[in-house]
Amino acid sequence: MHPIAHFRSAFPTKFGIPRQSGIVTELRGRIVFESPYRNIDALRGLDGFDYLWIIWEFSANRSREERGATSWQPTVRPPLLGGNMQMGVFATRSPYRPNPIGLSSARIERIELSPTEGPVIHVLGADLMDGTPIYDIKPYITYADSHPEARSGFVDEHPWQELTVEFPQHLQSLFSPESLRALIHVLSLDPRPSYHDVPEKVYGMPYEDYDIRFTVANRTLTVRNIIKKGS
C-alpha cells in the first residue's frame, strides 16, 4: 500500500495530540492528496456526508522500528488507566501494534478545490500529527457505524477527567479565538505521559508555531510561557 494523502495539523509531534478523535471538536486539520489522487471526481458525493473515516499510519513509530526495537507487545498500559494496568493490545488503541494502522472518525467541515493542492478536505476533531500518511478515507454511515448502546469495556469504568486550565490573558492574544479554544481543550485533556506527576516539572508542547510551556499540580494545568519557534 502507499499513501493517497497526508494530514496537515497544528501538531508537528505526537506530544499533546488528543488520545482519541472527536474529543476536541474545535481542532482543524486538512487532508491533502498526493498528485495522482488530486481528482475532484474521486470526492463526488462526499459533501453529502457529515463525517468520514480516516485510515492512516502511526508514522512516528518508524524510528523505533528502525532502531531494532520490538514493534509490538501482546499487552500495553493504556493512559486512561494511569499506565499502571496491562490490557491486551487488541483491546486498546495503542499505536504499538503488529501493523501500525490508525482509524479515526472526523467531521467534514468543507471540501475546497485549491489551485495548488487540488481537492482538500477540511476536517474537525481529528487526532493526527502533521504529515501523517493517509491510506484511505471512507464515509461514515450512521445506520452501520453508530452503536450508542454498545459497551466500551474498561473505558466505561474510567471516565476521563479533564484538568482546569489557567491561561494568562497576555499569552492568549497570540492565538485566534478559535485556535485558543482548541488549545485550551487540548491542554485540559492532560497532554503529559500517563506516568508523570511532578508538580514542579515544566513541560513543553509544540502547537502551531509555538512551544507551550506548562506545569500541572492539583488537577490544574498552568501555562507558564509560550515561546515562538526559532526564537
pTM summary value: 0.89
Cell of 51: 463525517
The answer for residues whose C-beta is within 8 angstroms of residue 14's C-beta and 6 or more apart is: 60, 129
- In CATH, the architecture of 164-228 is 2-Layer Sandwich (3.30)
Q: Determine contact, residues 205/16, Cβ cutoff 8 Å.
A: yes
CA atoms of 177 and 183, how far apart (whole Å): 10
Cell of 97: 501494534
CA atoms of 30 and 122, how far apart (whole Å): 5
Cell of 12: 508537528
Q: Please report, as a single letter, which amino acid is at residue 220.
A: T
What is the per-residue pLDDT across 171-207, written as a single tens digit (0 to 9) for each?
999 999 999 999 999 999 999 887 677 888 999 999 9
pLDDT of residue 202: 95
Q: Hey, how many other C-beta atoms are within 10 angstroms of the C-beta on 169?
A: 6
Q: Residue 67's pLDDT band (boundaries 50, 70, 90)? A: very low
Q: How many residues does the structure list for the chain?
A: 231
Write down the mean pLDDT value for the chain: 91
For 203, half-sphere exposure in the C-beta direction (CA atoms, 13 angstrom radius) is 21
What is the per-residue pLDDT across 87-140, written as a single tens digit (0 to 9) for each?
999 999 888 888 999 999 999 999 999 999 999 999 999 999 999 999 999 999
CATH 3.30.2310.20 location in the chain: 164-228
| CATH entry, 5-145, from 3.40.50.720, 2.40.30.70, 3.40.1360.10, 3.40.50.970 | 2.40.30.70
Q: Residue 38's pLDDT band (boundaries 50, 70, 90)? A: very high
CA atoms of 102 and 9, how far apart (whole Å): 16
CATH 2.40.30.70 location in the chain: 5-145
